[in-house]
A = this chain, B = another copy of it.
Amino acid sequence: MKFSIKEIASLINGSVSGDSNIEIKNVAKLEEAKSGDLTFLYLPAYEKYFSTTKASAIIVKTGFSKSRSDITYIEVSSPEKAFFAILKKYFTPEFPLSGIDPSAFIHPTVRLAENVAIGKNVVISSECKVGANTKIFHNTVIADNVLIGDGCLIHANVSIRENCILGNKVIIHSGTVVGSDGFGYTPNDKGEYEKIPQIGNVIIEDDVELGSNVSIDRAAMGSTVIKRGCKIDNLVQIAHNVILGEDTVVSAQTGVSGSTKIGKHCILAGQSGLVGHIELGDNVVITAQSGVSKSILKPGYYMGSPAREIKTAQKIGVHLHNLPEYAKKISELESEIKKLKEDFKLT
């Protein structure tokens, strides 16, 4: 791939300084860029790499101090957005796959729309429906009566259980399981656990992305729902009957327990956990490793286990850090009071 500086500057509406006739072959991070690469700078932490980067061109914020003369600058109002526009236009991966591989099994009752691509050893069971331009990669298994929308990308070794529903442009990474049974048991008279049939399904709406090795359980009854635009990272657990609101982000290794309902535009940072049967309002952010044990309806940042409003949690954190000092002070105060009492009695 080759691009001219002019072509790039035109796409991102940038102002060029330096040699505008160079040819760009690739994009790279500042510290890893080679000659012929285009790079970008927007995080202050990375400015230290500017003086030594081998990139041929760099996208910077308008007004950036152009201290080097051996690099071509493209100044824009938002280097981050500009770089994203370039990645999106020139570097979106294609995931080549076409046609229905003869080693795939497609049940005769399955309805495939136009331009569906099915990889090797894929199993698509009875009554499934696959929308236009959807690609399903090798060794993935789709159980009965799964409805898959248009333009989805399902990677290798994914498992989707019966009756689940996927919207359009859903991306699912390898190793992920959609629709495994919810974790529901009831103890019998002997104290043994009997399995409660899990007869619901999972609904995944448009533009959702699920990372690798994610587990999303089917509802006991009704549906576990991942609403439009949710982004779920690797190794996340979504239990039965959970509802995730639109555009909510769930980072890696987070777990949401059964029947918990989460609002729109929430962020659950990595390794956080939510108990079951609670509710999170819209725009609630849970920081990493936090544990949410009660409903949180007010937008804001929450931290700790149990999770508290972040200012409260941070305040407690500071005092916790000082705790050894407080213990010492208490001990000193005891001595002083003891001495005061003695002195007082002496007078």
Contacts and interface: CB of A to CB of B under 8 A. Distances in A.
Nearest to A32: B222
A151 interface: no
B237 A255 contact: no
Nearest to A141: B156
A316 interface: yes
A327 B92 CA distance: 55
Interface string A123-135: 1000000000000
A336 B136 CA distance: 74
Interface stretch (A13-21, A59-67, A68-76, A210-218): A210-218
A40 to B, nearest CB: 10
Which of A199, A234, A344 gathers most chain B CB within 10 Å? A234
A233 B171 CA distance: 24
Contact of A222 (B28, B157, B247): B28
Interface string A71-108: 00000000011001001100111001000000101000
Interface in A222-280: 222, 229, 231, 233-235, 237, 239, 241, 247, 249, 251-253, 255, 257, 265, 270-271, 273, 275, 277
Contacts of A88: 194, 196-197
Contacts of A29: 221-222, 241
Interface residues of A, number: 112
Interface stretch (A4-12, A110-118, A317-325): A317-325
Nearest to A28: B221
Given A88-B194, A265-B191, A175 B337 contact: no
A161 interface: yes
A120 interface: yes
A319 B80 CA distance: 45
A41 interface: no
A310 interface: no
Contacts of A337: 333, 336-337, 340
A277 B196 CA distance: 34
Contacts of A191: 247, 265
10 contacts: A32-B221, A87-B199, A88-B194, A177-B212, A185-B231, A195-B209, A213-B215, A330-B330, A333-B337, A340-B340
